[in-house]
Protein backbone atom coordinates (compact mmCIF):
# COMPACT_ATOMS: atom_id res chain seq x y z
CA UNK A 1 0.00 0.00 0.00
CA UNK A 2 2.82 2.40 0.80
CA UNK A 3 4.51 1.73 -2.53
CA UNK A 4 1.40 2.55 -4.56
CA UNK A 5 1.07 5.75 -2.53
CA UNK A 6 4.60 6.71 -3.52
CA UNK A 7 3.83 5.96 -7.16
CA UNK A 8 0.70 8.14 -7.01
CA UNK A 9 2.62 10.98 -5.35
CA UNK A 10 5.97 10.83 -7.17
CA UNK A 11 5.28 8.82 -10.32
CA UNK A 12 6.69 5.52 -11.53
CA UNK A 13 10.39 4.86 -11.88
CA UNK A 14 11.97 2.64 -14.55
CA UNK A 15 11.67 -0.52 -12.42
CA UNK A 16 7.95 0.11 -11.79
CA UNK A 17 7.34 0.69 -15.50
CA UNK A 18 9.23 -2.46 -16.44
CA UNK A 19 7.29 -4.59 -13.95
CA UNK A 20 4.00 -3.13 -15.22
CA UNK A 21 4.89 -4.11 -18.77
CA UNK A 22 5.84 -7.61 -17.64
CA UNK A 23 2.52 -7.97 -15.80
CA UNK A 24 0.45 -6.71 -18.73
CA UNK A 25 2.35 -9.10 -21.01
CA UNK A 26 1.75 -12.02 -18.63
CA UNK A 27 5.53 -12.55 -18.47
CA UNK A 28 5.78 -14.45 -15.18
CA UNK A 29 9.41 -15.42 -15.67
CA UNK A 30 10.36 -11.79 -16.19
CA UNK A 31 8.41 -10.83 -13.08
CA UNK A 32 10.18 -13.49 -11.03
CA UNK A 33 13.65 -12.44 -12.14
CA UNK A 34 12.94 -8.80 -11.33
CA UNK A 35 11.15 -9.43 -8.02
CA UNK A 36 12.68 -8.12 -4.82
CA UNK A 37 12.90 -11.73 -3.60
CA UNK A 38 12.86 -14.08 -6.59
CA UNK A 39 12.90 -17.27 -4.51
CA UNK A 40 9.95 -16.17 -2.35
CA UNK A 41 7.98 -14.97 -5.40
CA UNK A 42 8.39 -18.39 -6.99
CA UNK A 43 7.32 -20.12 -3.77
CA UNK A 44 4.18 -18.00 -3.50
CA UNK A 45 3.28 -18.48 -7.17
CA UNK A 46 3.40 -22.25 -7.01
CA UNK A 47 3.26 -24.44 -10.09
CA UNK A 48 0.35 -22.75 -11.82
CA UNK A 49 1.10 -20.71 -14.92
CA UNK A 50 -1.72 -18.24 -14.23
CA UNK A 51 -1.91 -15.42 -11.73
CA UNK A 52 -4.07 -16.48 -8.78
CA UNK A 53 -5.00 -12.98 -7.63
CA UNK A 54 -7.97 -12.14 -9.90
CA UNK A 55 -8.87 -15.44 -11.53
CA UNK A 56 -11.68 -14.99 -14.06
CA UNK A 57 -11.85 -11.29 -13.21
CA UNK A 58 -8.35 -10.35 -14.38
CA UNK A 59 -8.71 -6.79 -15.69
CA UNK A 60 -5.69 -7.09 -17.97
CA UNK A 61 -6.93 -10.31 -19.56
CA UNK A 62 -10.49 -9.01 -19.93
CA UNK A 63 -9.36 -5.77 -21.60
CA UNK A 64 -7.15 -7.70 -24.01
CA UNK A 65 -10.11 -9.93 -24.91
CA UNK A 66 -12.44 -6.96 -25.37
CA UNK A 67 -9.94 -5.10 -27.55
CA UNK A 68 -9.23 -8.22 -29.60
CA UNK A 69 -5.59 -8.42 -28.52
CA UNK A 70 -4.30 -11.97 -28.12
CA UNK A 71 -3.08 -13.06 -24.71
CA UNK A 72 0.68 -13.39 -24.60
CA UNK A 73 1.96 -16.69 -23.28
CA UNK A 74 5.38 -17.26 -21.83
pLDDT along the chain (74 residues), means of 10: 84 90 90 94 81 79 83 49
- Whether 74 maps to a domain, the answer reads no
| Structural domain count, the chain | 1
pLDDT for residue 74:
44
73 inside domain: no
- Whether 70 and 64 have beta carbons less than 8 Å apart is answered as yes
Q: The whole model's pTM is what?
A: 0.67
**Domain assignment of residue 24, yes or no:** yes
What's the pLDDT score for residue 26?
86
The answer to whether the beta carbons of residues 53 and 74 sit under 8 Å apart is: no
* Domain coverage including residue 37: 2-67
Q: What pLDDT, on the 0 to 100 scale, is given for residue 45?
A: 85
- pLDDT at position 50 is 67
Q: Answer for the pair 22, 60: CB distance below 8 angstroms, yes or no.
A: no
Asked if residue 72 is part of any domain, the answer here is no
Say if 44 falls within a structural domain: yes
Amino acid sequence: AAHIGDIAKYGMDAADREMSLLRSGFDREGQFTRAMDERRARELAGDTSDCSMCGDFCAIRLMKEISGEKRLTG
